[in-house]
Amino acid sequence: MATRIDGKAIAAALRGEIAAEVAQLKEKGVAPGLAVILVGEDPASCTYVRNKQKACEEAGIHAEQINLPADTTQEQLLAVVEELNHRSDIHGILCQLPLPRHLDDEAVIAAISPAKDVDAFHAENVGHIMIGDIRFLPCTPAGVMELLHRSDISVEGKQCVVIGRSNIVGKPMAMLLLHENATVTICHSRTKNLAEVCRGADILVAAVGRAKFVTADMVKPGATVIDVGINRDENGKLCGDVDFDAVEPIAGAITPVPGGVGPMTIALLLKNTLTAAKQQNGLA
């Protein structure tokens, strides 16, 4: 039976460390500030934003939520970003995605100052991640790396398979694993013999967005299985991309959903906001 990697506990420990650093920074006269832009009232986005705000407050980070109506124009949104780019009390800016369909995600990401881009989505920061000179960590993939580090699972020389090639999860995940000397394979919707490729993995990361997509026949006995997915099953219950009940008896270690990768993403956002505040005050 696999060891369960407790993301909730690991994230809580990390958030505690960040809170201590925030307190130290405040003693030096710097109060880290994050602005979170929410356009419209998508229920999932509202929940994510609320959770981010709460986590910031608990860590002593000032979080400012900017709620814009669903019919906000591109020009209005870009003007809000521009104003935040110039505010010295706001060190990090994020715009909750997805935006309403009439707005251009890419243009908004590009408008955020790279120095305040705590989601690490701006092309400049993506470039930094690619070359390994990392300014801001990609939150979800870096959360996965923290889970591995704090569970004493080394990736060096291991066969790592990432299912999913999104800019937010799959691609930066592969980069972070590569930077720690893993041999990395990225799988996607056009991959042939997916189950066979996955069975070769010492560490399997699923970031597909399909409930119970990873089945027992795709997992090598003893492998570490990291489930990034957030889905609803046929009964509306929260579940990951991995068929947890079937895979747990085979895997060596596994993350549950909820309580695995999810809590880490927010912790890493706090870490990036702290980093941004330090960098903008010449303390990093």
32 or 164: CB nearest ligand NAD: 164
Residue identified by tokens 């949104």 is: 77
Identity of the residue numbered 12 = A
Which of 96, 227, 241, 271 is an active site residue? 96
Which of 6, 52, 117, 171 is an active site residue? 52
**CB of 283: closest distance to ligand NAD in angstroms?**
28
**What is the 8-class DSSP label of residue 274?**
H
100 or 259: CB nearest ligand NAD: 259
**Beta-bridge partner residues of 4:** 254
Is 52 noted as a catalytic residue in this protein? yes
**CB of 185: closest distance to ligand NAD in angstroms?**
12
**What is the 8-class DSSP label of residue 5?**
P
How far apart CA 77 and CA 124 sit, in angstroms, is: 21
100 or 209: CB nearest ligand NAD: 209
Query: If we measure between CA atoms, which residue out of 147, 102, 98, 136 comes closest to residue 255?
Result: 147
Which of 6, 116, 117, 119 is an active site residue? 119
199: which 2 tokens? Answer: 């069975």
Is 76 noted as a catalytic residue in this protein? no
31 or 97: CB nearest ligand NAD: 97
Is 105 noted as a catalytic residue in this protein? no
**CB of 134: closest distance to ligand NAD in angstroms?**
18
**CB of 262: closest distance to ligand NAD in angstroms?**
4
Considering only CA atoms, give the Rg of the chain: 19
60 or 262: CB nearest ligand NAD: 262
Q: Which residues bind ligand NAD (CB under 6 A)?
A: 140, 163-166, 168-170, 187-189, 191, 194, 207-209, 228-231, 261-262, 265
How far apart CA 92 and CA 275 sit, in angstroms, is: 9
| Cis peptide preceding 32, ω within 30 of 0 | no
Cβ-proximal residues to 14 (8 Å cutoff; 6+ apart), any chain: 146, 264, 267, 268, 271
**CB of 222: closest distance to ligand NAD in angstroms?**
23
CA distances, 178 to each of 13, 25, 54, 131 (Å)? 26, 32, 33, 11
Question: What residues are annotated to the active site?
Answer: 52, 96, 119
